[in-house]
Amino acid sequence: MNLRDLVFAYFQHYTIIAYLALAVAGFAVFGWNPTGLWRAIAIVAAATAVYPLVWHLLHQYILHGQWPYKFKLLASTWKRIHYDHHQDPNHLEVLFGALHTTVPTIFIATAPVGALIAEDGHRIGGAALAFSIGILTTCYYEFMHCIQHLAFKPKWKWVQHMKQRHNEHHYVDEDGNFGITNYFWDHVLGTYYEKKDRPGRSPTVFNLGYTEEVAKKYPWVKDLSGGIASDHPRRRAIANAKKLAAQAEAPTEEQILAHAAEAVGMDTEA
């Protein structure tokens, strides 16, 4: 996959189309109820600055939290927004966030900041501007996330560094490198690492700690998933392919009966 193919596929995805439509709507609301220039600049700066911290905290304490799967009402949401992604990091259907979870989260994280900075009478516009910036930042995050998981080899060193740290999060140890486009807050909060720092692979890197033992008490994610996988997705795919091939080669019951009947010279229906 080259950069052109990646960009083309990215902008065709319904999630990105929805994000861009929401961003345009937010800018339209800001145009209808604009705040002053300097306050607008402050809103853009604040929304851009707060996003990485909010994402890091959500990623570490909610998406990787050991509590959402303990509630039946949250189990399916947690499964969709992150468990499935770690079960198979390159599975395209769950690569992008689910709109019904991402859009409210972006609004809650950014709109109050914009409303607080804007002057009285223009707080709706300020909130809309901050929300649009949050949406566009999400689009950037999602594009980089595609680079990290699709068959695209970036030429830029800083993107290679970003992709390597994220791959370590998925294939070495899930308890660290929670950033997507930068790892500033990982450095600050002590969760940054490189592969050499953690030579042994985490046994829960693909199931986020939701093990068979845990599923005995909290079975909902396992029931929805049809099981729990803890091995590398590629090895699982190879094992499944071998299993299907073996099943295809195995004779059916009818074939066994026909062969037996032919051996004894009798009608199979007798």
Give the model's pLDDT for residue 240.
Answer: 62
pLDDT greater than 90 at residue 237: no
Q: Give me the chain's average pLDDT, please.
A: 88
Q: What is the mean pLDDT of residues 42-59?
A: 95
Cα gap 234→239, rounded to integer Å: 9
The first and second tokens of residue 254, run together, are: 């009818």
- Quick check: pTM over 0.85? no
Q: What is the mean pLDDT of residues 6-23?
A: 94
CB 133 within 8 A of CB 50: no
Give the model's pLDDT for residue 148.
Answer: 93
Give the model's pLDDT for residue 220.
Answer: 96
Per-residue pLDDT tens digits for 118-143? 999 999 999 999 999 999 999 999 99
pLDDT greater than 50 at residue 189: yes
Cα-only R_g, the chain: 24
Strand, coil or helix: what is 264?
Answer: helix
Cα gap 25→221, rounded to integer Å: 36
Q: What is the mean pLDDT of residues 102-121?
A: 96
How sure is the predictor about 93, in pLDDT bands with cuts at 50, 70 and 90? confident
Q: Which residue has the higher pLDDT, 22 or 243?
A: 22
Q: Residue 27: how many CB atoms within 10 A of its CB?
A: 18
CB 136 within 8 A of CB 23: yes
Closest CA to 149 of 94, 194, 197: 94
pLDDT greater than 50 at residue 265: no
Q: What is the mean pLDDT of residues 212-232?
A: 88
Cα gap 156→97, rounded to integer Å: 25
